[in-house]
Structure 1
Amino acid sequence: MSVVPEVSPDGKKLTIAIKGRFDFSSHQHFREVYERIYPKPDAIVVDLKEATYLDSSALGMLLLLRDHAGGDDADIRVINSNSDVRKILGISNFDKLFDIS
């Protein structure tokens, strides 16, 4: 499992690519990635294109990211999720908290 951050040249967008299993083992690294960025980016994209698995701790990590980014005012998109991951996000009502595509 790896977490790969990429900040846009203007510093306004952070993309976090998740590769492999997105579970509790990635908690510390995932959190460090977004907490280290200063100033906070205006937008955050979580790219799940290469994520093979997502569990309840990953859902919790997404909620912590949302809180860190500003809660209801945060601009966070979850992109490239496969059908299984999208189903989990939908059942968990995360489509009401995040822009999921």
Structure 2
Amino acid sequence: MNINLDVDVTEKENETTLHLKGEIDAYTAPLLKEKLLPLTAKQDHHIIVDLAEVSYMDSTGLGVFISALKSTKEHDAQLKLVNLQERVHRLFKITSLDTIITIETTVRGGN
């Protein structure tokens, strides 16, 4: 089993940024979930997930972000995804998750 995801967490007062590097799939999603979900349970917390260096994501990754979104709504927290590469952004568009998850409009690696 090759786990190919690095999660670098930067915390400020009321904001946490997760810089992800690698791939989000069935093998790496549990690590992402372990790092991300506790942050979403903090009242009035802002979570930014930087996906600039995520080259691949499958439906398992989408599931983690859906769980995170539900948790943020329960705890009045905010989740924002930034710096998505085109192929990852396309997943959110195809599934219409881009209409319920805040995604910074800057898309990297476009045609």
Please state which band the TM-score falls in when normalised by the shorter chain. 0.7 to 0.9
Match of 2:48 among 45, 48, 63: 45
For the pair shown, which has the larger CA radius of gyration, 1 or 2?
2
Report the TM-score when normalising by structure 1: 0.83
Displacement of 1:60: 0.2
1:24-78 superposed Cα distances (whole Å, 9 cap, x missing partner): 212222122134449715211111000010100000000111122225x542111
Consecutive unaligned residues of structure 2, counting only runs of 5 or more, are 105-111
1:32 to 34, 43, 55: 34
Partners in 2 of 1:61 and 1:27 — Cα distance? Answer: 7
TM-score where L is the length of structure 2: 0.77
Counterparts in 2 of 1:94 and 1:36: CA distance versus 1, 3 Å: closer
Return the structure number with greater helix share. 1
Number of residue pairs aligned between Structure 1 and Structure 2: 99
Alpha-carbon distance between aligned partners in 2 of 1:98 and 1:39, rounded to the nearest angstrom: 17
Same amino acid, percent of matched pairs: 24
Q: Which residue of 1 aligns with 2:15?
A: 13
- Aligned mate of 1:93, from 86, 96, 99: 96
Query: Any gaps of 5 or more consecutive residues in structure 1?
Result: none
